[in-house]
Amino acid sequence: MTRVLVLGGGSGGLVAANKVKRLLGKEVEVTLVDRNTHHEFMPAYPWVAFGMREPEAIRRPLANLEKRGIRYLQATVEALDPERNRVKTTAGELSYDYLIVSLGAEALPSPAQDGHAPWSLEGALKLREALRTFKGGKVVVGVSSPYYPCPPAPYEVAGQVEFALKVKGVRDKSTVEVFHLNPAPLAGMGPVISGKVLEILKSKGIAFHGGFEPVEFAGGKVKAKDGRELSYDLLILTPPSPPTGWCGKAPSRGPRASPRWTG
């Protein structure tokens, strides 16, 4: 029987494992490896931060895959050996006929110790707690590097925080500002999309600071390379990711396996 090994039980790995099993049924033995016991639906992290979902609603046990005939192994992937069709994990060495790598983008440490990052479940819950006790003030949402999962997320989060302040009745005592390294919101999608996002931000009274490259976070202030400064009472900052994350470049550590079986 053909053995398909899927590394990662995030959105990509889960979809791939299910699709392969559904398409090829008994012809394949599909094994999915993840270091965590649960799949987490990452786009819902901000919903948790703003109290629109509870953590249990956005995560599912990966062991549920067994009901669909997919084997789940909890282990950390340590090394790939594409020459020998082997993967080294904390649960031992695994062999495969076809390999699907979907290990996601690794978050690096944040440059701001006081920054909140709803880019993980833990970060979302910390932001929820900070908002619970927030009495109004300056809220700044920004990006720490050009690479982070989900380019629109900072604008979505800024809109949600603005709404949360209204619900708490402290919007009139607060300002919400967004900074980004790019000159315009979602600059890569062209001027029409950028213009629309700017329009939405403006309609909510959210200021946008473009071309803002943060170089220092200290004393409740973020300083940009060009000398601009923004002070804040609450900072929400994307954690930096290495440039092999969401932008779609093949990780140098692994092979692209799917063309072999789709071709």
Residues that bind ligand FAD (CB under 6 A): 8-13, 33-36, 42-43, 45-46, 76-77, 102-104, 118-119, 149-150, 153, 246
Spatial distance between the Cα atoms of 221 and 232, rounded to a whole number of angstroms? 6
Instruction: Please identify which residue in the block is written with the tokens 């992290």.
Output: 45
CB of 258 to ligand FAD, least distance (A): 13
108 vs 150, beta carbon nearer ligand FAD: 150
What φ, ψ does residue 67 adopt, rounded to 5°? Answer: -65, -25
176 vs 224, beta carbon nearer ligand FAD: 176
CB of 236 to ligand FAD, least distance (A): 11
Residue nearest to ligand FAD (CB): 10
Yes or no: say if 47 and 22 are a contact pair by the CB < 8 Å rule: no
Spatial distance between the Cα atoms of 234 and 8, rounded to a whole number of angstroms? 33
10 vs 255, beta carbon nearer ligand FAD: 10
CB of 261 to ligand FAD, least distance (A): 18
5 vs 28, beta carbon nearer ligand FAD: 5
CB of 165 to ligand FAD, least distance (A): 19
94 vs 230, beta carbon nearer ligand FAD: 94
CB of 219 to ligand FAD, least distance (A): 28
73 vs 181, beta carbon nearer ligand FAD: 73
Spatial distance between the Cα atoms of 132 and 51, rounded to a whole number of angstroms? 10
CB of 119 to ligand FAD, least distance (A): 4
Task: Determine the Cα angle at 192 with ends 191 and 194, to 5°.
Answer: 60
137 vs 251, beta carbon nearer ligand FAD: 251
CB of 249 to ligand FAD, least distance (A): 12
